[in-house]
Amino acid sequence: MRSKSPELMEQISKYIGDYYREHHSTPTTREIGSAVNRSAACVYNYLVEMNRRGMLTYESGEITNLPKISKTTTGFFSAPLVGSIRCGDPEQEEELVEMYVNLPEALFGKGEFYLLRAVGDSMEDAGISDGDLVLIKKQTDCEVGNIIVALDEEGENTLKIYKGVDSNSSRAVLAYANETVYPGKQISVSKLVVQGVAKHVIKGL
């Protein structure tokens, strides 16, 4: 049997890894062949040999366990972008889903999430600016210091820092994070309903 070119094996390996990073799936033998200027039959023989050498797993026409894929393999989750939420006074929540955004679990973690577009400037000191996308993890509990989406007793929501319960009034305290514009400003609610906790901010440069 004619010996296999190590250089071509590396080309094939690199192409599969690059393809997977872009498409989150592996290419066909025809696609690989087109990329490395070889026939699909030639690529098939190379994949069989690469499988034999332990460079990847090639079974039933499926490529798996390629080192370049293993380094980039990650689960993805689809987070609905449900509109805007004010970083200011509470505003009625937008329920309309604008789109679904695929995000990697390796960067953002696992769980049930949704995205909100921030409006306003009251969270600037927390790194959240007007127009940023805020990734919210759905949960009904929170800790002091968390940035939360809170629903008050009137059914309105806002994005604020949870400061705990005031010992005098027994009301939950939600704080602004922009001392330049809103020094010391807080709002309080008699019944705090938590719709989620902010975990990440996605912003443009």
Domain assignments of the chain as residue spans, ordered by start: 6-72, 76-202
β 157-165/186-189 pair status = unpaired
Average pLDDT over residues 187-194: 89
- Three-class DSSP category at 124: helix
Position with higher pLDDT, 165 vs 205: 165
Of the listed 70, 122, 167, 170, which one is catalytic?
Answer: 122
**What is the identity of the amino acid at 56?**
L
- Percent of the chain past pLDDT 70, that is, above it, reads 88
pLDDT of amino acid 163: 96
Q: What pLDDT does 92 receive?
A: 45
**CA–CA distance, 103 with 94 (Å, rounded to integer):** 21
> Binning pLDDT at 50, 70 and 90, where does residue 72 land?
low
The residue type of 195 is: Q
| 80-123 tens-digit pLDDT | 888 777 666 554 444 467 888 888 877 888 888 999 989 889 99
Question: CA–CA separation, 17 vs 26, rounded Å?
Answer: 8
Rounded to whole angstroms, the Cα distance separating 165 from 173 reads 6
Residue 200 has pLDDT above 90, yes or no: yes
What CATH code would you report for 76-202? 2.10.109.10
Residue 84 near residue 50 (C-beta atoms within 8 A): no
Q: Which residue has the higher pLDDT, 43 or 152?
A: 43
What CATH code is assigned to 6-72?
A: 1.10.10.10
Indicate which residue of 160, 163, 170, 191 is catalytic: 160
Burial (Cβ within 10 Å: 0-12, 13-18, ≥19) of residue 99: exposed
Over range 176-204, report the average pLDDT.
92
Q: Determine whether 160 is an active site residue.
A: yes
- The Cα 138–Cα 114 span in angstroms is 7
Q: What is the pTM assigned to this prediction? A: 0.62
The whole-number pLDDT of residue 137 equals 93
Q: Confirm whether 169 is a catalytic residue.
A: no
Q: What pLDDT sits at residue 94?
A: 44
What is the arithmetic mean of pLDDT over 28-36? 94
